[in-house]
Amino acid sequence: MPVVYEDNHIILVNNAASEIVQGDKTGDVPLSEKVKAYLKEKYQKPGNVFVGVVHRLDRPVSGLVVFAKTSKALTRLNEMFRSNEVQKVYWAVVKNAPQEPEGELVHWLVRNEKQNKSYAYERERKDAKRAVLRYRMIAHSDNYHLLEVNLLTGRHHQIRCQLAKMGCPIKGDLKYGFPRSNPDGSISLHARRVSFIHPVSRLPIELEAPLPEDKLWNGFRFAH
């Protein structure tokens, strides 16, 4: 569980694909509990340790996750995520190059709870939520293209769904149309950077998560 940044109020972790951020029906130990155990051991704290879950990553996604270490930070971070004051940048590996090397995608997303899947539409419809992201192609290898995605809204499976709608499903993402899974069950989507104003000190924070160590990501390690 690599810690990217920690102070008295917040801790950011580079999450591995397949981890769950918060407990669910699988009963697997979530990342939040691992962070608690880490803090308990590091500071030799008796009793319970406070760790507040601010946001989540889909289970097959790797990258930066923000946790609060105090209730004050949790309250303020929750509000900052709600009002889009936290900038989130993702890297996505796709097989198909987009028609335009950069652009903005605007769709209306409808979530199907039973399928745990979202569907993107060009026009507003009942129960749909507006989803906006910006992308640009920043590198390519022999077989794949690397897109940098700036997430402007936070919808269910938003990046996965919108890139697939554009004809660029993420490598390994069977749910959204990629033909083959990745060997480890991950999808090639990485929460690369976050930037925000610290909820307590009010100083600017900008942090970057190292890329997963594998052959695919190694091919893009020097991209910017």
Q: Give the phi and the psi of residue 149 in degrees, each rounded to 5.
A: -120, 125
Look up residue 54 and give its two tokens: 């601010």
Determine the residue type at 178: F
Q: Annotated catalytic, 58?
A: yes
Displacement of CA 196 from its chain's centroid (Å): 15
The residue from 24, 28, 58, 184 that is catalytic is 58
| Bridge-based pairing state of the strands 62-68 and 52-53 | antiparallel
Q: Are 7 and 13 in contact (CB under 8 A)?
A: no
The CA-atom distances, in angstroms, between 23 and each of 30, 53, 80, 100, 105 are 5, 11, 23, 39, 32
- Rounded Cα distance between 158 and 201, Å, is 31
Question: Which residues are the active-site residues?
Answer: 58
